[in-house]
A and B are shown apart, each in its own frame.
Chain A
Amino acid sequence: MHKSWMKRQSRLGYLFIGPNMIGVLLFFIIPAVYSFYLMFTDYKFMSPETNFVGLDNIRRMLNDDLFGVALRNTFVFLLAVPVSMGLAFIVAVALNKSVYWQKTLRALYFMPYITSGVAIAFVWMLLFQPTSGPINGFLRGIGITNPPGWLSTTEWSMYAIDIIWIWFMLGYNMIIYLAALQEIPEELVEAARIDGARPWQTIRQVIWPLVSPTTFLLLITGLIMTIKNFGIIQAITQGGPGNSTTVLSLFIYQNAFRYYEMGYAAAISWALFAIIMVFTVLQWLGQKRWVHY
């Protein structure tokens, strides 16, 4: 009696997760397994024959100067994540108190996140224009005679992308932080105040530790989101000038969908997966030191 009830129960369970499982299987697991196989072949889209080439693609990747360039650019790109989170935290703390235009400001900060990527790309290209753009106009105005060329130079282009990305992520990070701040019990802040803590002490020693689970979440999702992103770079620079803004994800896109080198692209994808995995595991291990639940 009891046994058959269990059986029926578990069958029902599978029925419920079935539709989702089929989706996951067809669109995630099978393609992932297949791309793992592709990594060891010389498969080119549209080309008639595919040969098993063993570790050739991985060897090629390790000898490819461009892979190194893309890897370095990816790490520069990742710098945007902690910077954006830090700024978001400051903004969230400020907007958590009753300030003028509180709701409008919150909406404004969130605006970039819901704006189309192509529109963002065009606006920032205009802003960053080296000779007639408003950013350099402002910099010259405050006395910097030789402002950077931003997107038009190989030295600055990746940092210019960083700035756009920080701005883009800010609103999202801020909203999540705001939610966390609302959860903090008023008594704790009150108690700190009665004990004579100054505002910045309260922020550093009470509020910051209390939102550390949120920080942890934002850090992991932020890093993964950033490392995977290529749309914004594709829209703004297509990886140039030179190859100064070619990040790994863009490098995969180019190899797969511009050169049709699917085997090689699969190998780089798995390298990217490995990097994300290492990052996540490291953070998971490190969280004990600073995340307080």
Chain B
Amino acid sequence: MRIKKGLTGLIVGALMLGLLAGCVGKNETNGGDNGGGAAEGKVKLTMWGAVPPENGPQEVVDTWNAEHPDIQVEYVRFVNDDDGNLKLDTALSTGQNVDLYVNYTLTNLDKRIKGGTALDLGEFTDYNIDEKMGEDAASWKVDGKYYGMPTKKNAAFFALNMKALDQAGLSVPTAWTWDEAREYALKLKTAGFKYGLVQHTASYVDPLDSVLVKNGYVKADGTSNLDDPLVTKWLETLNGMMKEDATTPPLGEQLTSKMPVENMFLAGESAMINIGEWLIRTSNNMTEFPRDWKIAFAPVPRLAAQEADMVKSGGLGDFIAINSKSKNKEAAWEFLKWYADGGMMPMAAGGRLPSSNAVDQQTAIDHLLGDYADSYDKESLEFVLYGDETPTFVRSIAQEVVDLRAQEYEKFFLGNQTAEVTVQNMVKRHNDWLKQNQ
């Protein structure tokens, strides 16, 4: 009896202690927040992003802070992987200091909107996102509303070794199919390259999403559309390139060695690379990756026969949301507008081209290429960045679907199952998932 009583007391005591600790913690943070602001009339904003501070963000906030003594911005970096996003989500849902944060995928944004941590920007009327950012911005709308602002122009493209192309008598394509790209790779391999094409594993699936955005991830009857014939076409094309032509590295090899594909392209081991604007960050580093040839650019090839059927990966990125629990929404909005309309320019050198039309294209490209503009084929670069009129998409499917697809096609490329079984498995698992998330 005595023991029981003691134990109850202990448990109650422990709970009280826990509660007290919680309260104290809360008061402290609140005090820090308001106290500083009230005392000096200053607003302090915290912005979370995944770009390392030294690659631009620090310069951005330093510039802003110098111009705006009343609104000081602090940049906090999170790593854009599962752990990093979890950290941000925890900070958001427990009310830690996050005023602005950058979303890199629609999937993550969607969770944050449902969690009630993204402010509907419709309440601000002095900036028209559609007008400033163009048509591509709309793919970031959720239920017809903007819960943030897309600030960066995404660009997915093939970068080509122009010297090799010239020697092989190949032209720089402005629209092409995967069959044509496969021929290019073969010709370039015979011209003396180890590989015709290399790509990041993240870019592998872009052709699939191109097809499925156009034809629908789900059929009219609500079942999976992963058995679209073009899915099989993609599997077989890439598999042929790995095994018959040996023009692209086998997947197993690439996965286990974490193949540094950019370095391989710049070192002249591969003639083409499927990549995006961030390539420039590495290719401008002439001390580590010296080269005596120009880089040309081509759009990513399409699986569909008709050019009109192409939707390409790209659109806009770096979707910055304002935390709906932020105490300084107005100040955050001021900063966001400034950031999008050119404040972000120091980040262009790292490949982040501003998407706002308030920013001059030429200035952006100058920032992007820096001192090495001569080592790029400017005409084809301008075409893939601004000239190509192909509609774009931003991948919006759930992480589970991305993963289940990857697990099945990895087994195919490793030779564990046929293309037919792969497609069957993808469809089955996708259907299961659809049922689960009805």
Interface residues of A, Cβ cutoff 8 Å to B: 7, 10-11, 14, 18, 21-22, 25-26, 45-48, 60, 65, 125-126, 128-131, 149-155, 237, 240-243, 254, 257-260
Contacts and interface: CB of A to CB of B under 8 A. Distances in A.
Nearest to B417: A242
Given A11-B6, A25-B11, A242-B410, A130 B256 contact: yes
Interface stretch (B108-116, B157-165, B385-393): B108-116
Contacts of B400: 259
B111 A152 contact: no
29 contacts: A10-B6, A21-B10, A21-B14, A25-B11, A26-B18, A45-B93, A45-B111, A46-B89, A46-B93, A46-B112, A46-B114, A46-B117, A47-B115, A48-B116, A65-B429, A125-B257, A126-B257, A131-B253, A150-B256, A152-B250, A155-B416, A240-B255, A240-B410, A241-B252, A242-B414, A254-B403, A257-B82, A258-B399, A259-B398
A55 to B, nearest CB: 15
A136 to B, nearest CB: 11
Interface string B91-131: 01100000000000000000110111100000000000000
Contacts, number: 97
A26 B15 CA distance: 8
A240 B6 CA distance: 51
A237 B201 CA distance: 14
A293 to B, nearest CB: 32
Contacts of A18: 10, 13
Nearest to A13: B6
Nearest to B411: A242
Contacts of A149: 252
Nearest to A7: B2
Contacts of A129: 253, 256-257
A22 B17 contact: yes
Contact of B111 (A10, A46, A151, A257): A46
Interface in B405-426: 406-408, 410-411, 414, 416
A152 B252 contact: yes
6 smallest beta-carbon distances between A and B, as pairs: A152-B252, A46-B115, A242-B411, A152-B256, A22-B14, A241-B410
Given A25-B11, A152-B255, A152-B256, 16 more contacts: A10-B3, A22-B17, A26-B14, A46-B92, A46-B114, A125-B256, A129-B257, A130-B252, A149-B252, A155-B416, A240-B255, A240-B410, A241-B251, A242-B407, A243-B407, A258-B82
B83 interface: yes
A257 B411 contact: no
A289 to B, nearest CB: 38
A207 B398 CA distance: 57
A76 B263 CA distance: 37
A148 to B, nearest CB: 11
B89 A241 contact: no
Contacts of A257: 82-83, 86
Interface in B227-250: 250
Contacts of A7: 2
Given A7-B2, A153-B252, A48 B399 contact: no
A10 B7 CA distance: 11
B362 interface: no
Interface in B294-312: none
A153 B257 CA distance: 13
B436 interface: yes
Contacts of B414: 152-154, 241-242
A259 B108 CA distance: 10
A48 B114 contact: yes
B258 interface: yes
A271 B379 CA distance: 60
A46 B406 CA distance: 25
A128 B14 contact: no
A47 B410 CA distance: 31
A45 B115 CA distance: 8
A191 to B, nearest CB: 50
B256 A151 contact: yes
A241 B414 CA distance: 8
B399 A259 contact: yes
Contacts of A254: 403
A128 B256 contact: yes
B195 to A, nearest CB: 14
A130 B255 CA distance: 11
A35 B410 CA distance: 34
Contacts of A237: 255
A47 B255 contact: no
Contacts of B411: 154, 241-242
A241 B11 CA distance: 47
Contacts of B399: 258-259
Contacts of B429: 65
B115 A154 contact: no
Nearest to A129: B257
A134 to B, nearest CB: 13
